[in-house]
């Protein structure tokens, strides 16, 4: 920032009064100013020093000689001269402004802020003084004060584009994304033909999750300057957020063609490659980003994700810790560290780090800011605690297990849950009130998110409350589904040699001669597309199960993927009753009539586990933290077995293993038993 730019609304120097200089010295001073402005610094300095020989305390000459010394790289001399000028005439704002500029340029931001503040006191109507003070305050980390200075500069001069731009930066650092976007939009209005301005707007919009707008702004930046590598990089990030990964890769590569050393582009390329399962390539790109910028905390955090997805959890944890050391307030690094620690069973630290989830802009659950304090685990007699669901159905089903522990602290309990779960949770016998989300909440004193309960109770791997079942099934619904299964020809249980015999009393279809029956197995093959479409395998992937003799299957699959049941694999006897499942209470009652549930990682797995039903859960290669690592069992659900992909996308080998185990399970059993779990 040069001298003239700093003095946007100041004279370059306070013009001396007639009595300050003789007419001859006045002419010399004006000659020195002309030489100075022409860039003839040596000539100007000689004249300034000649003037000081006769008038050593002339403030205007001292000031300009200090400015010249600063421009020549002699900062200490510049500071000395301008300080002498201020001592002679302390009420001239330009002197403080230029002294502050030398302090700013030499990294002495505390002294710079002090001098800028003095300029503001002298000239409170100066937009440039407020703006420059904001610059120093931001350097000092005093972001709230910096924002106030920028806002005042803008009030005084609404067309001050740089003030709007720096307000956007400070607001972004404070997490005020919408304010940052508004400020950057003002810059766009003032400088509509500058590519960098549109590029910065694209970045702010992407940060707010407004990906479509970010893409439009990014394309505008590129249209103004096709060679702007940063614009291509920002556009890639926005495209990736929209799931347009191939286009994102194209933009990343164009950015790196234009500027091979652009660390941001390597980071975004790595993130995009991770999103499409190319973790090895992602690691290479992220390591390049870090090589270019060793202090790039976000790239370290992303590298940790790539390592975790490759199964290198210890290395991932180390990299996450590096990211946090570089930027202690980076939410994604803390959250990803939590997932890695929890996946290894390091629960105590993991639960603490998991609380960062609410600061992550792309976290898959809205933050609830309630007007009551959060519960800290203290005794509750005389108080009411609200336990509210977060994230997905499976999370609610898994962590509602803590309800008895909360009840032991006394007081009253309200559970707020997803409407689809309300009928099921009403069967909980803890005397609590159950309210569906969106309904008016009864009065409460404190509140707690369900997934914060493990931290409150200090849950370790060996102290998981895992007595099952901890959810109840409505008996009338269970009986309804027993009769429904008996009436469905596809779901009937056969004895291949002696035909069907119905037992209305016990709800079983047995062969009276052999005393045996065939198991009934529920299937779920798809979860929600968000947040993780990789958990879905599709019914066709389970084709090997059709070859297992003596098994009848029941579709528990709901949603659009349920239509796949109409085109079941050849030879698979699959009853599709899913259209009659009104809510999770119905699904629970149907599961209670089954011998086994085979499901991908979705809410059905948690429901079956919570009911204590024999459950086989099929997991992708980089499974969620709650299934831990390298285990075929799970301490959260004692009746569950886990079948893991050996590599990304390999559902075929998983299905083959399940089919082999199911063959053993389907061997003839005793009249009183169901399928034998191997």
In sequence order, the β-bridge partners of residue 384 are 412
- Say whether pLDDT at 7 is over 50: no
- Partnered with residue 618 across adjacent β-strands are 600, 643
Domain match, 548 and 429 both: no
Return the structure tokens found at 677.
Answer: 């779990």
Give the domain CATH number at 48: 1.25.40.10
Same domain, residue pair 415 and 499: no
What range does the domain containing 652 cover? Answer: 484-665
Of 400, 379, 377, the closest CA to residue 388 belongs to: 400
Q: From CA 329, how far away is CA 323, in angstroms rounded?
A: 10
**Predicted confidence (pLDDT) at residue 517 exceeds the cutoff of 80:** no
Specify whether 413 is located in the same domain as 492.
no
Question: Could you read off the pLDDT of 42-55 as tens digits, one per residue?
Answer: 999 999 998 888 88
Phi/psi-derived region of residue 197, left when phi > 0, alpha when psi is between -120 and 50, beta in every other case: alpha
Lowest mean pLDDT among 218-232, 342-356, 662-676: 662-676
Average pLDDT, the chain: 88
Cis ω on the peptide bond leading into residue 412 (within 30° of 0)?
no
Sheet holding 446-449, edge to edge: 433-436, 412-417, 384-388, 446-449
Look at residue 610 and give its three-state secondary structure.
helix
Mean pLDDT (whole number) for 111-129: 93
Confidence of residue 491 (pLDDT cuts 50, 70, 90): low
| Cα→Cα distances 58→62, 65, 82, 84, Å | 6, 11, 11, 9
Number of structural domains in the chain: 3
Residue 246 falls within a domain, yes or no? no
Given a cut of 60, whether residue 17 has pLDDT beyond it is: no
- Classify residue 343: in a domain, yes or no: no
- Of 280, 329, 277, nearest in space to 303 by CA: 280
Residues 526 and 573 in one domain: yes
Q: What is the pLDDT of residue 6?
A: 40
Cα–Cα distance measured from residue 522 to residue 554, given in angstroms and rounded to the nearest whole number:
5
pLDDT, residue 489, reads 58
- pLDDT (0 to 100) of residue 16: 43
pTM: 0.80
Q: Does residue 677 lie within any of the structural domains?
A: no
Give yes or no: residues 490 and 430 share one domain.
Answer: no
Same-domain check for residues 498 and 550:
yes
- Comparing 103 with 666, the larger pLDDT belongs to 103
Mean pLDDT score, 189-198 = 94
Same domain flag for 450 and 525: no
More confident residue, 286 or 500: 286
Q: Which of 428, 463, 498 is the last residue of a domain?
A: 463
- Segment 495-517 mean pLDDT: 43
Calpha distance 484→499 (Å, rounded):
19
How large is the C-alpha radius of gyration of the chain? Answer: 35
CA angle, 145 as apex, 139 and 148 as ends, to 5°?
Answer: 120
pLDDT score at 514: 46
pLDDT of residue 30: 87
- Residue 665 scores a pLDDT above 90: no
């Amino acid at each position: 920032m040069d001298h003239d730019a700093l003095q946007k609304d100041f004279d370059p120097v306070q013009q001396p009064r007639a009595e300050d200089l003789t007419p001859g010295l006045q002419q010399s001073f004006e000659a020195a100013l002309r030489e100075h402005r022409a860039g003839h610094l040596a000539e100007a300095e000689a004249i300034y020093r000649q003037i000081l020989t006769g008038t050593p305390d002339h403030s205007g000459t001292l000031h300009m000689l200090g400015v010249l010394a600063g421009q020549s790289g002699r900062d200490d001399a510049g500071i000395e001269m301008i300080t002498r000028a201020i001592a002679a005439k302390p009420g001239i704002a330009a002197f403080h402004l230029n002294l502050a500029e030398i302090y700013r340029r030499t990294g002495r931001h505390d002294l710079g802020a002090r001098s800028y503040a003095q300029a503001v006191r002298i000239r409170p109507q100066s937009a440039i003084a407020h703006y420059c003070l904001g610059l120093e305050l931001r350097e000092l980390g005093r972001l709230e004060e910096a924002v106030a200075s920028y806002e005042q500069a803008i009030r005084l001069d609404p067309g001050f584009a740089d003030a709007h731009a720096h307000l956007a930066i400070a607001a972004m650092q404070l997490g005020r994304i919408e304010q940052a976007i508004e400020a950057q939009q003002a810059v766009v209005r003032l400088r509509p033909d500058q590519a960098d301005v549109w590029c910065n707007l694209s970045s702010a919009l992407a940060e707010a999750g407004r990906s479509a707008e970010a893409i439009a702004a990014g394309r505008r930046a590129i249209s103004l300057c096709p060679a702007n590598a940063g614009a291509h990089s920002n556009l890639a990030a926005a495209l990736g957020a929209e799931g347009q990964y191939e286009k994102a890769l194209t933009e990343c590569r164009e950015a790196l063609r234009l500027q091979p050393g652009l660390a941001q582009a390597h980071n975004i390329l790595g993130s995009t490659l991770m999103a499409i399962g190319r973790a090895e390539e992602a690691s290479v790109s992220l390591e390049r980003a870090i090589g270019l910028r060793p202090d790039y905390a976000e790239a370290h955090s992303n590298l940790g994700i790539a390592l975790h997805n490759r199964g290198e959890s210890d290395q991932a944890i180390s990299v996450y810790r590096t990211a946090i050391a570089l930027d202690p307030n980076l939410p994604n690094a803390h959250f990803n560290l939590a997932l890695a620690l929890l996946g290894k069973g390091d629960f105590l630290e993991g639960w603490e780090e998991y609380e960062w989830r609410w600061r992550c802009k792309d976290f898959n659950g809205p933050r609830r800011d309630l007007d009551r304090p959060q519960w800290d685990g203290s005794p509750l007699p005389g108080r009411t605690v609200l336990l509210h669901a977060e994230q997905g159905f499976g999370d609610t089903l898994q962590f509602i297990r803590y309800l008895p522990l909360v009840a032991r602290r006394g007081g009253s309990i309200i559970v707020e849950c997803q409407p689809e779960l309300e009928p099921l949770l009403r069967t909980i016998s803890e005397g609590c009130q159950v309210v569906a989300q969106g309904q008016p909440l009864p009065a409460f004193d404190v509140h707690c998110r369900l997934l914060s309960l493990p931290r409150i109770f200090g849950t370790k791997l060996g102290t998981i409350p895992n007595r099952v079942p901890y959810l109840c099934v409505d008996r009338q619904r269970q009986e309804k589904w027993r009769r429904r299964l008996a009436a469905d020809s596809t779901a009937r249980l056969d004895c291949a040699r002696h035909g069907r015999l119905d037992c209305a009393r016990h709800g079983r279809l047995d062969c009276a001669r052999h005393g045996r029956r065939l198991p009934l197995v529920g299937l779920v093959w798809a979860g929600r597309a968000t947040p993780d479409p990789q958990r879905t395998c599709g019914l066709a992937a389970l084709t090997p199960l059709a070859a297992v003799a003596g098994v009848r299957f029941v579709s528990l699959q709901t949603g659009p993927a349920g239509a796949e049941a109409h085109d079941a694999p050849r030879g698979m006897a699959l009853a599709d009753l899913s259209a009659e499942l009104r809510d999770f209470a119905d699904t629970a009652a149907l599961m209670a009539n089954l011998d086994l549930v085979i499901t991908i990682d979705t809410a059905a797995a948690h429901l079956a586990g919570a009911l204590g039903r024999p459950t086989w859960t099929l997991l992708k290669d980089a499974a969620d933290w709650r299934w831990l690592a390298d285990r075929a069992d799970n301490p959260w659900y004692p009746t569950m077995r886990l079948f893991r992909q050996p590599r990304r996308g390999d559902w075929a080998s998983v299905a083959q293993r399940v089919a082999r185990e199911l063959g053993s399970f389907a061997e003839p059993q005793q009249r009183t038993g169901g399928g034998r779990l191997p």
